[in-house]
Structure 1
Amino acid sequence: MTPRTRWTSAGTLTATLIAAAVLAACGGGGGGATPATPPTDTPLRVQLEKIGGYSTGLFGVSAAEIPAYDAASQRLFMVNAQAGKVDVLDLRVPASPVKIGEIDATAVLAGAEINSVAVHDGLVAVAIQAPVKTDPGRVALFRAADLALLGSAAVGAQPDMITFTPDGRTVLLANEGEPSDDYQIDPEGSISIVDVSTPATPVVRTAGFSAFNAQKAALQAAGVRVYGPNATVAQDLEPEYITVSADGRTAWATLQENNAFAKIDIASATVTDILPLGFKDHGVAGNELDASDTDGGTINIRTWPGVRGLYLPDSIASYSAGGQTYLVTANEGDARAWGEDNAAYWAGDASKGFVEEFRVKHLVNRSGWAGRAGNDLPPQLNALAAGGLLDPVTFGHCGAIAGNPGACRNDENLGRLNVTWTMGYRTNPDGSPMLFDATGAANPAGNRLMYDHLYSYGARSFSIWNADGQLVWDSGAEFERFLASADCKLGSARSIPCADFFNSGHDEGSAKDSRSDAKGPEPEGIAVGQVNGRTLAFIGLERMGGVLVYDITVPTAPRRLDYLNTREDWTTADPGTVLATAGDLGPEGLVFIPAARSPIGVPLLVVGNEVSGTTAVYRINATGGVR
């Protein structure tokens, strides 16, 4: 099959599709006999309640990341990145999980570590990264009941996430293929599609991206971020997370740094589409953000014309509504930062790394950026020009004039915001930078870039897309506005005002507003499940912490139902010193356990918290919904 690239822009559902989704959400449908007793549909109310947990006792070393659950053995499998293993917990009593074993990857590949785990009807699949991450990894299969190794096979470089198809016969791995830290080796990203129907002899097929190499310029023009130095398309695309359609025929992988989806036909093991995701306009009402971490500790959520947020989603899930498949993403954001610890790179050797993140105040300093040389000035940026300017038409709202960014670069405005220097400047028809002089006049002999827009990382939201990557709904500024409101409370008792610790970091105390210049609350993990006939999305906020719950049954009209953040200590400078009582910090991965598979007959949510090294078990208390 010849791959085709579909380049789509954000769109909306047709009236027919919306009506179908609403009808399905209300318990109706097309065809078939009318039930004798019509279903009732009352407003769903949900409250998360932490009922148990397990602690590794390790702080800040990613000792609890990705969970998976096996209903038959009632065992929870939690990736412990610090140990490079999977911790196995007995979840028969969810209030008191007990570690009963572990899965060690070194028996499969010496010196390796496990990045991800998935379970289907007693079969445990793990994604194993090689000791040298640019080398091929492996997939390994274990029996949940006794942890016996059943089989393994080679896959692509840096398998970062693994998932089963609904029938359990196939696993898919997102082989991220990140470059080496010095950028000397850059393996191709890929999707491994593995037949595990005979676990002793798994059969691997690879859906790669090499067929798109000749389409690099067209992909870039369409909005796919293909921008690594000297990289082919296949090298530059980095699959992060995968979801599979209910019929098991199609998969979608987030290409996080590339701000796109890959659409995969599972039967043919072919990437059929690369779908650019576009950006969020932070200059319009509803998409506001707090852009500074040094504005006196105040909460300043406002529009910023000229600032655009790249979605750059991490986790992705899928569900069906009205006969259509929808994709749900946690729009974390991520910057490429290779060679950041390499002195030679910062000394000017562009071959030793690639760092795209730069603060606005340094990017548009009217004196140029030479003063950052040897500190944090990327040599690739320095090779383009000697400084950057802000378009006074776009950024006149914060004081920019020709040749002078004015108050826009002040810390309390946009100065502290982290953006990518690789996008937003004006270019010539051939794609080369258009140059300006220091007065702001276009001049081929000049040495300044003109930034018409600034692109920040992540959308500080979660989104719903259709199967072709068109935006159906986005939460806009709701996360930050809710965290700043009097309705939001922290702690297991829900008694601590969220606003007192707005946009805090997950590994520090007394840190109000500390993440506003970066990615805000940083939504990362997402899980989707059915409760009382409604489809719910659970979104973990990596930095601020806690889990948001939304009813997404109608894709165009999600509704927030709850937020629980069980972090208890918000003031100790180093939470690791009070780890036993600090609570849960840094949610990374989430798994939903439906009532029918739950050890206690009610739905549960399990969260791996990478900073506190804790596993949290939440009971989902629900009333109402479709009965």
Structure 2
Amino acid sequence: MLKRSILAFTLLGVLSGCSLDGDDGKVGAQGPVGQTGAAGQNGTAGADGKDANALLEIKLIGRAVLNSESPEGAAEIVAYHAAKQWIYAINSSGEKAVVNIIPASEFDTSALTKNSEGVVTNTNLTSVITLELHTHTPGDANSIAIDENNQLLAVAMAAKPKTNKGQVAFYDISGATPVFIKNVEVGALPDMVTFSHDGKKVVVANEGEPSDDYSVDPEGSISVIDIENAEIANTATQIGFSAYNSKQAELESKGVVFANPAGRTINGNAINTSVAMDLEPEYVTISKDNRFAYVSIQENNALAVVDLADNSVELMPLGFKDWSSYKLDASDKDGGLNLRSYPGLYGMYQPDTIANYTWKGANFIVTANEGDGREYFFDAESEADCNAKGGLDYDKDDGCLAYTDESRVKKLALAHNFAYLNNDDNDIGRLKVTTVKGDADKDGLYEELYTYGARSFTIWDSSGQVVFDSGDQIERITASVHGSAFNNDEDTNEGDTRSDAKGPEPEALALGKIGDRTFAFVGLERMGGVMVYDISNPYNVTFSDYFYNRGTVEGADISGDLAPEGMAFIPAEKSATGEALLVIGNEISGSIAVWQISEK
């Protein structure tokens, strides 16, 4: 269905923070959470913007599908060029990555009709320019950014193999079509690129993932490229984490998570992984005053704070979310909606997309807490070949398992404090957790369990204190709206399929002002919907709305916009409609969706 609005309500309480010098980084309880009501049935789509209780009027006004024959990967990361009112979108659905450019100046909404489920599947926007990235820069495109100051486009290009250094490709976008300027070398696997607000710096998060057999593990890093008088520097400043190589134990005690595969020999290669190799920067946001770059380090459950005045860097551990204070559905095999609390279970926040804003002159960081485990496979001819090469397991489709930190709880031996639960498919047994934390005394029994992501979004202050967390609201709201279809996967209509693995999986995130209020838009990778929260005051956050364009009827072919991967918020003064727009790149459906958002 196209859109469902929920009554706005104030989320209860304010979380206590996780101290940088605390013992274990666990976050205190938010306070009592009300009982979850019974799941409702799937409703029918209402008229856009007609919910009298909604704070905002939200309607789908534009849609494009970039590759209808092979949509997956055709619309991932999006950016907006205000000077021309063009949408730029990375398209990786073919053999060679391109950027599609889509005019967003006219919207014939009469072309967007709904099917029998109330879902829009047709289009009214078309790509008019295809930028062939491979012409000047080999590799895979991971991220794009636009600077209106100097009329520049930056594209983060990962090398092949991914363990080699990548590049940022720059284009002049002031003319009728983009014109290539230069490549600037950065770190391994550049995953996200952004400009400072004044256009004087480009900051890149280089994830530095290991090779599939762990034979090469480049250091994760952050690259800073200076721009002076519209001239792009030929080389980047590389910021690494080698200063933390002797501090792993200290970081772990404060909530940073490490894979710890060192000491094994895989495919003939001895693994010796340092802290700097293990840290994997993911996403960058730059403070309004251009002083600080905040970088999510997803798999490690941390943020890096870069002072752009001197390029110094500090790690900010994120700690853990206590699932004894909230409720989640931990199993995809328990017959439906079963939300409950679990003493001894903690969530690693592990944010993907992050953003920031100011309140009372102070910086606040907003994170979409997706979660992510590590799993690497390499080629092997057979199970015997895999075993001989030091692999952990063999799968005829995936190959030889070099490393994973994932396990289902039922495969672990639990300590006596978990005697209150049944370690089976009907309870917590199906839940995926990490094996690198929880058995502190190394006796083979897990006294604590740590699962991936927090099924929430969080607001942090600049010292790493939790100011607000949405708790279990996302899972509860989607369960109420979608009924038995809650926790659907991104490419199938089988409800409850993602309960064992990060639930609705908040991944995409954008902040924007509507009138005099600041809103957070949180995209759910699996359900395909977007949560809207009024975060104008970070200490008084309210839930505002929920909208989506996806079919959810169980057993029916999946349709609509699937797996929001990237978002761009367009303020009203830069929009062709005179109202704010939210542009969403949907990775699985290969679609670009443009939603108009205005005050009621």
TM-score range, shorter-chain basis?
0.7 to 0.9
Aligned residue among 66, 69, 75 for 2:80: 69
Structure 1 residue aligned with 2:477? 482
Code of the aligned partner of 1:451 = Y
Moved more, 96-105 or 603-612: 96-105
CA contact (8 A) 2:70 2:93 kept: no
- 2:334 corresponds to 1:295: yes
Code of the aligned partner of 2:451 = S
TM-score if structure 2 supplies the norm length? 0.82
Aligned residue among 80, 96, 107 for 2:135: 107
Residue by residue over 1:550-600, the C-alpha shift from the partner in whole angstroms, topping out at 9 and shown as x without a partner, is 10011122111111110135445653xxxxxx1111111111000011112
CA contact (8 A) 2:415 2:445 kept: yes
TM superposition shift of 1:335: 0.1
Structure 2 residue aligned with 1:369? none
Code of the aligned partner of 2:440 = R
TM-score if structure 1 supplies the norm length? 0.78
CA contact (8 A) 1:11 1:470 kept: no
Aligned residue among 228, 231, 244 for 1:212: 244
Point out the structure with max Rg over C-alpha. 1
Aligned residue among 195, 211, 221 for 2:226: 195
Structure 2 residue aligned with 1:379? none
Structure 1 residue aligned with 2:192? 161
Structure 1 residue aligned with 2:323? 282
CA contact (8 A) 1:345 1:353 kept: no
Structure 2 residue aligned with 1:412? 426
1:526-537 residue pairs with structure 2 within 5 A? 526-537=509-520
CA gap 1:179/1:616 in 2 versus in 1, 3 angstroms? same
TM superposition shift of 1:199: 4.3
TM superposition shift of 1:214: 2.2
TM superposition shift of 1:11: 7.6
SS in 2 for 1:257: helix
Instruction: Find the aligned partners of 2:295 and 2:244 in 1 and give their Cα distance.
Output: 16
Structure 1 residue aligned with 2:10? none
SS in 2 for 1:481: helix
Unmatched segments (≥5 aa) in structure 2: 1-18, 29-52, 109-123, 262-271, 393-400
CA gap 1:341/1:476 in 2 versus in 1, 3 angstroms? farther
Instruction: Find the aligned partners of 1:396 and 1:530 in 2 and give their Cα distance.
Output: 48
Structure 1 residue aligned with 2:377? 339
Code of the aligned partner of 2:147 = H
SS in 1 for 2:76: coil
Code of the aligned partner of 2:276 = A
Structure 1 residue aligned with 2:14? none
Structure 2 residue aligned with 1:137? 166
TM superposition shift of 1:314: 0.4
CA gap 1:584/1:66 in 2 versus in 1, 3 angstroms? same
Instruction: Find the aligned partners of 1:569 and 1:546 in 2 and give their Cα distance.
Output: 11
Aligned residue among 587, 603, 617 for 2:564: 587
TM superposition shift of 1:221: 2.6
Aligned residue among 308, 319, 322 for 1:266: 308
Aligned residue among 419, 426, 444 for 1:396: 419
Instruction: Find the aligned partners of 1:219 and 1:618 in 2 and give their Cα distance.
Output: 41
Instruction: Find the aligned partners of 1:107 and 1:179 in 2 and give their Cα distance.
Output: 27
Instruction: Find the aligned partners of 2:232 and 2:128 in 1 and give their Cα distance.
Output: 25
Instruction: Find the aligned partners of 2:293 and 2:301 in 1 and give their Cα distance.
Output: 17
CA contact (8 A) 2:370 2:453 kept: yes
Instruction: Find the aligned partners of 1:183 and 1:573 in 2 and give their Cα distance.
Output: 41
CA gap 1:570/1:585 in 2 versus in 1, 3 angstroms? farther
Structure 2 residue aligned with 1:384? none
- 2:524 corresponds to 1:500: no
CA contact (8 A) 1:48 1:563 kept: no
Code of the aligned partner of 1:268 = D
CA contact (8 A) 2:495 2:554 kept: no
Structure 1 residue aligned with 2:584? 607
CA gap 1:11/1:349 in 2 versus in 1, 3 angstroms? closer
Indicate the percent of aligned positions where both proteins have the same amino acid: 43
Instruction: Find the aligned partners of 2:178 and 2:209 in 1 and give their Cα distance.
Output: 30
SS in 1 for 2:137: coil
Matched length: 512
Instruction: Find the aligned partners of 1:478 and 1:220 in 2 and give their Cα distance.
Output: 29
Residue by residue over 1:144-178, the C-alpha shift from the partner in whole angstroms, topping out at 9 and shown as x without a partner, is 24210122210000000011111012111100000
- 2:521 corresponds to 1:538: yes
- 2:486 corresponds to 1:518: no
SS in 2 for 1:500: helix
CA gap 1:218/1:182 in 2 versus in 1, 3 angstroms? same
SS in 1 for 2:488: coil
CA contact (8 A) 1:339 1:354 kept: yes
CA gap 1:289/1:202 in 2 versus in 1, 3 angstroms? same
Structure 1 residue aligned with 2:468? 473
TM superposition shift of 1:196: 2.8
Code of the aligned partner of 2:423 = R
Aligned residue among 220, 223, 236 for 2:255: 223
SS in 2 for 1:409: coil
TM superposition shift of 1:48: 1.9
CA gap 1:596/1:619 in 2 versus in 1, 3 angstroms? same
1:215-254 residue pairs with structure 2 within 5 A? 215-229=247-261, 230-254=272-296
CA gap 1:44/1:543 in 2 versus in 1, 3 angstroms? closer
Moved more, 193-202 or 251-260: 193-202
CA contact (8 A) 1:94 1:617 kept: no
CA contact (8 A) 1:150 1:200 kept: no
